[in-house]
A and B are shown apart, each in its own frame.
Chain A
């Protein structure tokens, strides 16, 4: 199993650009989530999904959209990038919300 994969690993955007961060898992996990990690801060939950077709907001959802059309994929869309969205983004998955969450390697995003 590849586990949780994320692409791209690095990305530089200009303010106002949009892009999609990809996340995929091959473990047949129902629960998937997106976190961001900023210096001096703990990881913060952006959005999560408890199964295909179901998504919900986390702690810091503004400026981001998600969808879950398949069990495997959970892309995160930045609608209009802002410098405040410069961060490291981690995708995670688990069998259920109560189980151990496995993290992808992260995407390092810089917004100029």
Chain B
């Protein structure tokens, strides 16, 4: 199995802050990585796929980067609607796996 490890698990930030979330894969996954945003009681929402491609309709303040085993999701200027939990997911292998999540809280 490819293990996905996110850090930090919780992040406290203020409106307007630049926020960076890291996701590390236990082996190389090229750029077969997606990022999701999830709010309480809702389904995950796709933000980024192929490590850096933005899903249609996603605000431009969200960006993804990385390849191989290390990836980042960056929110350039945190907005009130962005307080949520973020997950990475690899789709390099036939066993799809998700990271444990990063909760972005209000500071």
Partners in one complex: no
